[in-house]
Amino acid sequence: MVDIASQPGHSFTNGPGCHFGLGDHMRITSATLVIVTMLGLASPVSAQPEAAGEPTLLTSFDDVVTILERDAVSHQANAEQQFVTIPTRRNGFQGVMLIRWAASDGVLHFVQNLPLEVPDERHSDLAEAMVRLNHAYPVPGLGFNHVTKTAYFRMTVPIQPRGGLTDREMTTYFNYALQQAINLAPTVKAVIDGDVPPQQALAWFNEQQRKQLEFPAGRFETEVAGVTWTLELDGNGGAKLLRGGTAMVQSSYVTAGNRVTFSDTGGDLACESPGVYQWQSQSDGLQFSKLDDTCEGRSEILAAGAWTPVKSE
């Protein structure tokens, strides 16, 4: 987890470029929005999981804090300003989520910072890119605080007329806001770095999302217990696993969405039964999570951590 320090002026920090301020920018303004469904993005309604047991209705800021304490969620609470800050970490992304109970407005804010430095000369391009992305995004929420120079994704949900929301809903909205920040962060960074013109931000974002839906081909490396392993994926259903440059397993693979099934066909470390994994392509490489595999040796290697792409010589 990361450190969070409350600061005067209703703000908090999470390292360089990650400073939030709770001022006028937290107010809601009316807007007419055109929502266009984008590639591979779920809505918070479709993302809500089914859970056993009766949900708990949260009707106050104190209820929010109580639920966080019940679930042992690391957080810092500011009862006077009615907000909590929660350290967030997922797939290499690290930041802070701010949840603010705005009773006078009848809403609850979920604000996930984007831990990026934004130089003064990049403000204009960033603002234009955010406008273009928000216009097309299913749940627009990108924002920028010019005072603290902080980029963020905010999701605002009503607590009226019901008077609150359930603990399940809070978990769903928390995870949704966090995931959208993770999805958008590479595009925002590319604009800040000057690698993508703001006019091309939406097209670049869609292209990155498309790539994440395609099982990659190429050579990838990881290290397990001090040994370097290489995974070669030929893009046509063939794979090799090498240890220290020596091929140990030959396999075939079949993909279905974000699942891949490996069936070993030869090699000293070949497994008899197939293994099913969930795969994810991130900025730090290719990652596998075991879904069904009785071969412990294979799962210990494949799911050990990120597989970093090896550049062609």
In the sheet that holds 11-13, the strands lie side by side as 5-7, 11-13, 19-21
Give the CA angle between residues 156, 176, 160 to the nearest 5°: 30
Question: Can you give the C-alpha Rg of the chain in angstroms?
Answer: 22
pLDDT score for 21: 47
**For all residues of the chain together, what is the average pLDDT?**
85
Task: Render pLDDT for 276-302 as a digit per residue (tens, 0 to 9).
Answer: 999 988 767 899 999 999 999 999 999
pLDDT score for 90: 85
Judging by DSSP bridges, how do beta strands 275-282 and 150-158 pair with one another?
Answer: unpaired
pLDDT score for 43: 54
Task: Render pLDDT for 106-134 as a digit per residue (tens, 0 to 9).
Answer: 999 999 999 999 999 999 999 999 999 99
pLDDT score for 214: 84
Domains in the chain, ordered, with CATH? 5-211 (3.30.1460.70), 216-309 (2.40.128)
pLDDT score for 34: 31
- How far apart are alpha carbons 101 and 96 in whole angstroms? 16
Region 38-46: mean pLDDT is: 51
Task: State phi, psi for 211 to the nearest 5 degrees.
Answer: -65, -35
- How far apart are alpha carbons 287 and 29 in whole angstroms? 40
Task: Render pLDDT for 228-265 as a digit per residue (tens, 0 to 9).
Answer: 999 999 999 999 999 999 999 999 999 988 899 999 99
Region 208-218: mean pLDDT is: 84
Give CA separation, 126 vs 18, 23, 68, 148, 194, in Å.
16, 21, 34, 15, 10
- Write down the pTM of the prediction: 0.65
Residues ≥6 apart with Cβ < 8 Å to 95 = 2, 14, 18, 87, 88, 89, 112, 113, 114, 115, 181
With beta carbons less than 8 A apart as the criterion, state whether 124 and 98 touch.
no
Answer yes or no: is pLDDT of 29 > 90: no
pLDDT score for 258: 85
